[in-house]
Amino acid sequence: MKVVFHENFKCSEYASNSASAPGRMESIMTELKAGGYTVASPEPASMDDLLLAHTATHIADIQKDKKLFDMACLSAGGAILAAKMAFNMEPAFACIRPPGHHASREKTWDYCAFCNMGIALLKLKAEGLIQSAFVLDFDAHTGDGNINVLSAWPEAKVFNPMAHDSQSYIEAIEDYISKIQQVDIVAVSAGFDTYEKDLGKKLKTMDFYLIGRLMKHLAKRVCRKRRFALLEGGYYIQDLGKNVVAFCQGFD
Ligand SMILES: [Zn+2]
C-alpha cells in the first residue's frame, strides 16, 4: 500500500481552520513513515479535472483565494493519484488537505473547497476505467458534497453510517456492505473526527482498524482488491497519526 502526500500540504497558511491547523499533517506522516509506508507525490488537478465535479462559477469563487486554490488543486490531484493507483491494483491512502466531502457542484462549506472524492471517481469514469463505485464516508459529519456530486451517477453508492455507539457503527457498515454484489472500486472518505476524543465522540483507535479491514475484504470480494481512501476530517492531533495508521493497517 502507498501513501499519497506532498510536502506542500504541511503549509498551514492556505486557510485558518481546524483542517489547516499546524502539526496536523506532521502527526499523520510521522506515524505513517514509522509504519514503513512509502510515499508517492501528486501533481495538482487540472481545470478539466475540477470541471468533472464543479461548475465554472464555483471554481472561480475558490480561485479568488490563490493560496486556497493552489492547495485545493493539489488535494484533488492527490485524490486522483490515489484512485489511479487503486485502479492499477495498488491500494492507497491520500493524506491531503483541504478535505472535500462538503463541496457540492456549485458551492461548499466548512473546511472544504473541491470534492476530492467526486473528482477522483468521475475522472476514472470519464477515462472509461470504472462504471460503478462504492464510497464509505466514516467522517463524523455527513458528506453532503460527495452525495451531491455523485448524485447524477446511479451506479455510485455513498454510505454515511449512523449509530449511537462504536459497536452498532461497525455493525451498520457490515450490514450495508454485505448487500453489495459488485462495484468496480471501493473508496473511503476517511474522517477521523468520529474518534472518541474528537468531535464525533464515538470510535476507538481499534475501530478504525476494523473499518479498514472491512473495506479491504469488501474490495477483495467485489472488485479485485481495488481500493483507496482520502483524508477528510480529524482534529484531535495528538492521536490522529495513530488512528490513521490503525486504519491503514486494516486497509493494507
Ligand atoms: Zn467532519
**pLDDT the model gives residue 194:** 98
**pLDDT the model gives residue 232:** 98
Mean pLDDT of the chain: 98
- Determine the distance separating the centroid of ligand 1 and the alpha carbon of 238, expressed in angstroms: 17
**Segment 67-85, tens digit of pLDDT:** 999 999 999 999 999 999 9
Copy the grid coordinates of residue 29.
506522516
d(CA 30, CA 20): 17
**pLDDT the model gives residue 131:** 98
**Segment 123-150, tens digit of pLDDT:** 999 999 999 999 999 999 999 999 999 9
- Determine the distance separating the centroid of ligand 1 and the alpha carbon of 233, expressed in angstroms: 4
Residue 182, burial from CB neighbour count under 10 angstroms (0-12, 13-18, 19+): exposed
**Segment 84-111, tens digit of pLDDT:** 999 999 999 999 999 999 999 999 998 9
d(CA 180, CA 197): 32
Number of neighbouring beta carbons within 10 Å of residue 8:
15
**Segment 191-220, tens digit of pLDDT:** 999 999 999 999 999 999 999 999 999 999
d(CA 116, CA 45): 10
**pLDDT the model gives residue 185:** 98
Copy the grid coordinates of residue 111.
473546511
**pLDDT the model gives residue 248:** 98
- Determine the distance separating the centroid of ligand 1 and the alpha carbon of 10, expressed in angstroms: 20
- Determine the distance separating the centroid of ligand 1 and the alpha carbon of 5, expressed in angstroms: 20
Find the CATH number of the domain harbouring 150: 3.40.800.20
Q: What's the domain count of the chain?
A: 1
d(CA 80, CA 86): 10
**pLDDT the model gives residue 68:** 98
**pLDDT the model gives residue 102:** 98
- Determine the distance separating the centroid of ligand 1 and the alpha carbon of 240, expressed in angstroms: 13
Number of neighbouring beta carbons within 10 Å of residue 138:
29
- Determine the distance separating the centroid of ligand 1 and the alpha carbon of 178, expressed in angstroms: 25
Structural domain range at position 74:
2-251
At how many degrees (to 10) do helices 237-251 and 205-222 cross? 30
φ/ψ of 25, rounded to 5, equals -65, -40
**pLDDT the model gives residue 7:** 98
**pLDDT the model gives residue 136:** 98
**pLDDT the model gives residue 32:** 97
Whether the upstream peptide bond of residue 99 has omega within 30° of 0, thus cis, is no
- Determine the distance separating the centroid of ligand 1 and the alpha carbon of 127, expressed in angstroms: 30
**Segment 41-52, tens digit of pLDDT:** 999 999 999 999
- Determine the distance separating the centroid of ligand 1 and the alpha carbon of 56, expressed in angstroms: 26
Q: Which residue has the cell 462504471?
A: 131
- Determine the distance separating the centroid of ligand 1 and the alpha carbon of 143, expressed in angstroms: 8
**pLDDT the model gives residue 79:** 99
- Determine the distance separating the centroid of ligand 1 and the alpha carbon of 201, expressed in angstroms: 12
Query: Would you place residue 160 in the very low, low, confident or very high pLDDT band (cuts 50, 70, 90)?
Result: very high
User: Higher-confidence residue: 9 or 109?
Assistant: 9
- Determine the distance separating the centroid of ligand 1 and the alpha carbon of 19, expressed in angstroms: 9
